Amino acid sequence: MIIGVDFDNTIVCYDEVFHRVASEKGLIPDGLPARKNAVRDYLRDQGQEREWTELQGSVYGARMAEAQPFPGVRDFFVRGREQGIPLYIISHKTPKAVVGPAYDLHQAARDWLDSQGFFDRTGLGLPPEHVYFGVTRQEKVGLIRQTGCTHFVDDLEETFLEESFPANVSKILFGRSEALQQLPDARPARDWRRVTEYVFGADQ
């Protein structure tokens, strides 16, 4: 077994930091739910696509340290280390912010993983060389093939719908409670407890 895991919105929860930064910039009204997608949808409805893109660069760059891991993801990585199962983080992420200051988004993500203890040999124990960032979704899928993943966890169905996605890899769709019609072979996992049950067994 070799497990691959997406980074943004799968390991990292951005809900509160997106809401906080958007509020600081005066981009959203009081009372908007503190969810990333609520901020995105509001700005797009207001015709503020550029502001949304710049906000992403700010959050994924300068404000990355304020993001939090999803509950249960640390325990998942610890369990994998304890059982000697190789784990990889494989993400689709541009190297620099598209709009605004040219933050190094790859380095910001690595710094976040380090600060959260993912590279701690006595803790989560993820080797730094097991972290990959593909510039395109196709490159990400190529890395999933290259690392030999048998299971992959992702919040975006687009990853699994890529034509080149390997058919023999078990798909776990994070953040979903129900299966998608277009992905009948992808297991929905609303949280990391459910992912853990799929991978390690319900008795774990």
Instruction: Say how far apart CA 89 and CA 182 lie, in whole Å.
Output: 25
| Runs of H (alpha helix) within 33-135 | 36-45, 49-60, 73-82, 105-115
DSSP 117: T
Supply the range of the domain harboring residue 32.
15-66
Asked if residues 159 and 6 have their Cβ atoms less than 8 Å apart, the reply is yes
Statement to judge: residues 8 and 21 lie in one domain? no
Statement to judge: residues 94 and 35 lie in one domain? no
Does 100 have pLDDT greater than 80? no
Statement to judge: residues 52 and 73 lie in one domain? no
Instruction: Say how far apart CA 90 and CA 109 lie, in whole Å.
Output: 12
Statement to judge: residues 21 and 57 lie in one domain? yes
Statement to judge: residues 102 and 59 lie in one domain? no
Give tens-digit pLDDT for 32-85: 999 999 999 999 999 999 999 999 889 999 999 999 999 999 999 999 999 999
Statement to judge: residues 119 and 35 lie in one domain? no
Instruction: Say how far apart CA 143 and CA 6 lie, in whole Å.
Output: 11
Statement to judge: residues 55 and 117 lie in one domain? no
Q: Which of 31, 46, 66 is the last residue of a domain?
A: 66
Statement to judge: residues 50 and 79 lie in one domain? no
Among 13-27, 93-107, 125-139, 177-191, which stretch is predicted with the lowest mean pLDDT?
93-107
Give tens-digit pLDDT for 59-69: 999 999 999 99
Q: Residue 140 maps to which CATH number?
A: 3.40.50.1000
Q: What is the predicted pLDDT for the residue at 202? A: 56
Statement to judge: residues 133 and 149 lie in one domain? yes
Reported as type and span, the H/E element at residue 127 is none
* Residue 24 one-letter amino acid: E
Statement to judge: residues 93 and 154 lie in one domain? yes
Give tens-digit pLDDT for 107-152: 999 999 999 999 998 889 899 999 999 999 999 999 999 999 999 9
Statement to judge: residues 54 and 90 lie in one domain? no
Q: What is the mean pLDDT of residues 154-180?
A: 92
Q: Is the pTM of this model over 0.85?
A: yes
Statement to judge: residues 194 and 105 lie in one domain? yes
Instruction: Provide the number of structural domains found in the chain.
Output: 2
